[in-house]
Chains A and B, each alone.
Chain A
Amino acid sequence: MQWHLDLYRRLLAVQLRSQLQYRASFTLDAIPSALVSAVEFAAPMLVLQRFGNNIGGWTLVELALLYGMIDVAYALTDLFFGGFDPDYFAPMVQRGTLDQLLLRPTNITLQILGSEFRLRRFGRIAQGGIILVVALALVGVRWTPAKIIYLPIVLLGQVAFFGSLFIIGSTTTFWTVQRVEIINVFTSGGRVAMYYPMHIYTKWVRRIFTIVPVIFLNYYPALYLLDKSDPLNMPALAPFLAPVVGFGLLAAALGFWKFGLRHYASTGT
Chain B
Amino acid sequence: MNSSIITVSNLNKHFKVRKHHRGRMAGLRNFFTHEYRLVRAVDGVSFQIAPGELVGYIGPNGAGKSTTLKMLTGLLVPTSGEMHVDGRVPWKERQAHVAGLGAVFGQRTTLWWDLPVIESLDLLQHIYKIPEARFRQNLDEFREILELDPFLDTPVRSLSLGQRMRADICAALLHDPKLLFLDEPTIGLDVVAKERIRQFILHINRERDTTVILTTHDLSDVEKLCERVLIIDHGKLLFDGTLEALRERFNGRRELVVDFAEAYESVGIDGAQVVAWDGKHATYQFERKTITASELIGRLSARYQIHDLEVREPEIEATVRRIYEERLLES
Q: How far is the CA of A107 from the CA of B128 in the complex (A)?
A: 12
The answer to whether B128 and A105 have CB atoms under 8 Å apart is: yes
Given A100-B105, A103-B73, A265-B77: A14 in contact with B94 (beta carbons within 8 A)? no
Interface contact A18-B108, CB-CB below 8 Å:
no
Once the chains bind, are A105 and B123 in contact (CB under 8 Å)? no
A10 to B119, CA, bound (A): 11
Q: Is the CB of A7 within 8 A of B126?
A: yes
State whether B108 touches A105 (Cβ < 8 A): no
Interface-lining segment among A91-99, A121-129, A248-256? A91-99
Contact B108 A10 (CB under 8 A): no
Residues of A within 8 A of B114 (CB): 15, 18-19
- List of B residues within 8 angstroms of A268 by Cβ: 15, 67, 70, 75-76
User: Which residue from B77, B91, B105, B127 sits with its C-beta under 8 Å from A99?
Assistant: B105
Contacts of B115 in A (CB 8 A): 14, 18
User: What is the bound-complex CA distance between A6 and B70, given in angstroms?
Assistant: 30
Min distance, Cβ A18 to any Cβ of chain B, angstroms: 4
The count of residues in chain A whose C-beta lies closer than 8 Å to any C-beta of chain B is 23
B interface bracket (residues with beta carbon within 8 Å of A):
20 to 34
Q: How far apart sit A10 and B112, CA to CA, in the bound complex (Å)?
A: 13
A192 within 8 A of B: no
- Contact of A23 with B by CB under 8 A: no
Of B95-103, B198-206, B209-217, B257-265, the one with at least 4 CB within 8 A of chain A: B95-103
Given A99-B75, A103-B75, A104-B127: 20 more A-B contacts, CB < 8 Å = A7-B126, A10-B126, A14-B123, A99-B70, A99-B105, A100-B108, A100-B110, A102-B94, A103-B110, A104-B110, A105-B96, A106-B95, A106-B127, A265-B76, A265-B91, A266-B77, A268-B15, A268-B67, A268-B75, A268-B76
A-B contact pairs, 8 of them (CB 8 A): A18-B115, A95-B108, A103-B73, A105-B99, A105-B128, A106-B95, A265-B91, A268-B76
